[in-house]
Structure 1
């Protein structure tokens, strides 16, 4: 099969729906064999049925290190290597200061920071030299809406991890970049902010609209491919100009 990712194996976490699903679908279109992960087996099975034979699924909770170890052992057994790793699993909860609970912090930091760290660490033995690692960040690391302080802090941590890992892995030619979507029309965003808020956001951005998962996936495909061979440690905002406004 032709395509900029032909012959490559990619792992996309949190890919049963939304942005992760769109990235997996774009990678398939570019010729990759793709492994998707998520917590919900039924949702993963439905995603595989839609995405086709180039995709397999491994159920994994990114907050559970043992789950991640088992998931990447399954990837090793099936494919033996990873050429592209997209760490997309994430969560958020609106909580203004004064209303933040310990459970909120444990959930959001556990998923977005701890989960990112141990996903990459468990993938590391399988990453090929010159592999591409893409960490999914957020414009919330730069432009935080009310109640998003904890979520924004986790995405700022993801950016910091990319800077450190860029240096740690440079000797193997492994590139580490951050893909930071702005408001994107997904069910996850609607669940996070509410449908009314999402509907009102678009006119506030320079391009005048909320993005689509496919637009995020297009940039992920660039970062995964040889077209970005000299790009590492970068953060790509795909946000209609929101953080620059």
Structure 2
């Protein structure tokens, strides 16, 4: 399949987890992919496995300087960027009264400020490419309440996506957000959380959690020209949990 043939994509937080799954699918579909992460060891090992159409760039997504470096390295390796997937993010399972200001600002920097910086940094490259697609990974907690700080940032990503979509539409750049529910990643289905996840899945209308590739397939659709008339929109992958 070649749904992303001729496209150059940047995926943040791609050394493992959902970012890795997105990267593997993008490469299968013909893209050249720049994977970024703070975990240099895992990121470099992954691109060594993936081959010549992938490179790794170590990145702190909350650093404006690092974003400039990522764009520069992407253009040096593959040319102007067509696709940006703002995937990097963290969470913190603490009650609001237990979250420090330092905790809060760290989550905001990684989950929210990074999305702003990434969108702003990639625009000149996408203009050279003649347009592009930005996919911002939010969460079902960008639609309904969850943990304080995490929920706040995921709502912010949803709003930024809409505002940026209006700003960037005249340049041929589309911006959409993806809102996953519970995904069967190794962290979620490990032994100490498995029972809780199975119990929660009974509340989901489809009675199961999502497989990682089900989310990646949505991200692929938004990155591809198949979604050419979609911008400023929310794409929910939660098995129906937020519809209740």
Distance 1:194 1:18 in 2: 16
Identify the residue that residue 137 of structure 1 maps to in structure 2.
Answer: 138
Identify the residue that residue 151 of structure 2 maps to in structure 1.
Answer: 152
- In the TM superposition, residue 143 of structure 1 has moved relative to its aligned partner by 2.5
Secondary structure in structure 2 of the residue aligned to 1:149:
coil
- In the TM superposition, residue 97 of structure 1 has moved relative to its aligned partner by 1.9
- Cα distance 1:101–1:194, how it changes in 2: closer, same or farther (>3 A)? farther
Query: What are the within-5 Å matches in structure 2 for residues 151-230 of structure 1?
Result: 151-189=150-188, 194-230=193-229
1:111 and 2:110 correspond: yes
TM-score, length-normalised on structure 1? Answer: 0.93
Greater shift in the superposed pair: 207-216 or 46-55? 46-55
Identify the residue that residue 78 of structure 1 maps to in structure 2.
Answer: 77
Structure 1 residues not aligned, in runs of 5+: none
- In the TM superposition, residue 188 of structure 1 has moved relative to its aligned partner by 4.7
Distance 1:243 1:79 in 2: 39
Distance 1:68 1:196 in 2: 39
- Cα distance 1:188–1:171, how it changes in 2: closer, same or farther (>3 A)? farther
Identify the residue that residue 37 of structure 1 maps to in structure 2.
Answer: 36
Distance 2:131 2:65 in 1: 27
Distance 1:189 1:96 in 2: 20
Distance 1:46 1:10 in 2: 19
Aligned residues: 241
- In the TM superposition, residue 130 of structure 1 has moved relative to its aligned partner by 2.9
Secondary structure in structure 1 of the residue aligned to 2:130:
strand
1:57 and 2:66 correspond: no
Distance 1:65 1:124 in 2: 14
Distance 1:143 1:88 in 2: 19
- In the TM superposition, residue 129 of structure 1 has moved relative to its aligned partner by 2.7
- In the TM superposition, residue 239 of structure 1 has moved relative to its aligned partner by 1.1
Distance 2:186 2:193 in 1: 10
Distance 2:221 2:112 in 1: 24
- In the TM superposition, residue 79 of structure 1 has moved relative to its aligned partner by 2.3
Query: What are the within-5 Å matches in structure 2 for residues 6-25 of structure 1?
Result: 6-25=5-24
**1:211-241 CA deviation, whole Å, 9 max, x = no partner?**
1111101111111111111111111011111
- In the TM superposition, residue 195 of structure 1 has moved relative to its aligned partner by 4.4
TM-score, length-normalised on structure 2? Answer: 0.93
Structure 2 residues not aligned, in runs of 5+: none
Distance 1:109 1:181 in 2: 19
Distance 1:173 1:65 in 2: 24
Distance 1:113 1:102 in 2: 16
